[in-house]
Amino acid sequence: MKTNDRCRVAVVGASGYAGEELVRLLLAHPDAELTAVTSRQNLGKKLSQVFPRFARVATADTISFSDLDSANIARHTDIVFLALPHGVSAEFAKPLLDRGARVIDLSADFRLRSADLYREFYGKVHIAPELLANATYGLPELYRDQIRGASLVACPGCYPTSILIPLLPLTRQKLIEAGSICVTSLSGVTGAGRKVEAGYLFAECNESIRPYGVPKHRHLSEIEQELSLVGGEPIAIQFIPHLVPANRGIITTIYANVRSEGTDRIGSVMENFFRDEPFVRLLTGEQLPDTKNVVGTNFIDIAWRFDPRTKRIILMSAIDNLVKGTSGQAVQCMNLMSSFPETAGLF
């Protein structure tokens, strides 16, 4: 039993960049209490020992990495965050859910509604397909009400967040041609996670700019799934991500043909859709998105331009891949699930 109104939370797999950022947000959250962190490789070490930046911060000097014991965690926790690799999360989610914990999963395991689609894009059979129907896609700008009551939330990927949010208003209003969407994203290197591979060494990334995942990046699956649902028609897009030498931040630039009747309505549709969104900043005047304005925050900055020469709209967004792109969005979902102010711990 919890003794006060704080939400007791655990982070399973807190050794990557997303897990570390999540811990940072939770340690500073006014209404959450971090009761457990697990990590096989850091077992027994104090949180502040593994992440020296957390020394002297809240409970980081007293809490230690434990082994995952589902029963124990479910008993002492209200919400469990899974910061595990794709394919591993599904395995851990089930026993936690069975024991009554609510789960916010940061992996891709519960983002797709179809186990077939999962197999196509992730190359393996889904191990808990029966849970897919119960999962809620954790994009508050789209599923705010469902998230409040959800027991299993699948946080969107960082690229999908940066692509879906700017596309939601015009797609819902059917103002853009479904087949015309081309998306370029530029990501800082933490987007790849803390993978110890030669390609992510400093001297391989610094002074290097490069595309990758061409032409069928895994994130296409959830982007197209959600866009098609919003637009009420099958939507396939082109999406090419690029790696650039920065720690954090994603810039997404989207090209799409505007339906002839839609040109005049773009501005009002965008403004109406985002008016009450606490974390969407629709830029005005000459401003264009710049990752340095969102890094460390849960904001997504969005700008758009209509090009009369080509009848295309250019949508641009900036997010911090580790905050609005992952851990901040997860905390935003936790806030909704716990009836906290949606912005609690995120400003």
Site for a copy of itself in 270-299 (CB under 8 A): 278, 281, 283, 287-297, 299
Smallest separation (angstroms) from a copy of itself to the CB of 157: 18
Residue 328 binding a copy of itself, by CB under 8 A = no
For a copy of itself, the closer CB: 102 or 248:
248
Closest approach, Cβ 212 to a copy of itself, in A, equals 6
DSSP H or E segment with residue 230: helix 220-231
Contact 318, 291 (CB under 8 A): yes
Catalytic residue at 7?
Answer: no
Catalytic residue chosen out of the listed positions 7, 158, 205, 333? 158
Nearest to 121 by CA among 225, 43, 201: 225
User: Residue 255: exposed, middle, or buried by beta-carbon count in 10 A (0-12, 13-18, 19+)?
Assistant: middle
Should residue 212 be labelled a site residue for a copy of itself when binding is judged by CB under 8 A?
A: yes
Using DSSP's 3-state secondary structure scheme, residue 171 falls into helix
Cα 158 to Cα 279: distance, rounded to the nearest angstrom = 15
- The stretch near a copy of itself (CB under 8 A) out of 84-92, 134-142, 184-192, 258-266 is 184-192
Q: Partners of 7 in the beta sheet?
A: 32
The residue from 28, 43, 71, 125 that contacts a copy of itself (CB under 8 A) is: 28
- DSSP codes joined into one string, 82-104: E---TTTHHHHHHHHHHTT-EEE
Question: What's the min distance (Å) between Cβ of 343 and a copy of itself?
Answer: 9
The minimum distance between CB 243 and a copy of itself, in angstroms, equals: 9
Residues 123-162 that bind a copy of itself (CB under 8 A): none
Pick the closer one to a copy of itself by CB: 1 or 196.
196
When asked if residue 232 is in the footprint of a copy of itself (CB under 8 A), the reply is: no
- Does 330 contact a copy of itself by CB under 8 A? no
CA-to-CA distance for 314 and 236, rounded, in angstroms? 18
Question: For the chain, what's the residue count?
Answer: 347
Among 194, 264, 267, 268, binds a copy of itself (CB under 8 A): 194
Q: Convert 115-144 to b/e letters by CB count within 10 Å (16 or more is b).
A: eebbeebbeeebebeebbeebbbbbbbbbe
Of 64, 72, 146, 184, which one interacts with a copy of itself (CB under 8 A)?
A: 184
> How far is Cα 200 from Cα 193, in angstroms, rounded to an integer?
9
Q: Return phi, psi of residue 268, to 5°.
A: -70, -35
Binding mask 298-317 for a copy of itself (x = CB under 8 A): -x-x-x-xxx-xx-x-x-x-
The nearest distance, CB 213 to a copy of itself, in angstroms, is 9
DSSP bridge partners of 312: 257, 307
Among 88, 240, 269, 344, indicate the residue that binds a copy of itself (CB under 8 A).
240
When binding is defined by CB under 8 A, the residue of 53, 71, 145, 264 that contacts a copy of itself is 53
List the one residue from 42, 89, 162, 190 that touches a copy of itself (CB under 8 A).
Answer: 190
Q: Pick the binder of a copy of itself from 2, 45, 75, 210 (CB under 8 A).
A: 210
- CB atoms closer than 10 angstroms to residue 77: 25
Q: Pick from 91, 40, 83: which is nearest to 65 by CA? A: 40
Q: Measure the N-to-C terminal CA separation of the chain; round to a whole number of Å.
A: 29
Catalytic residue numbers, as ranges: 158
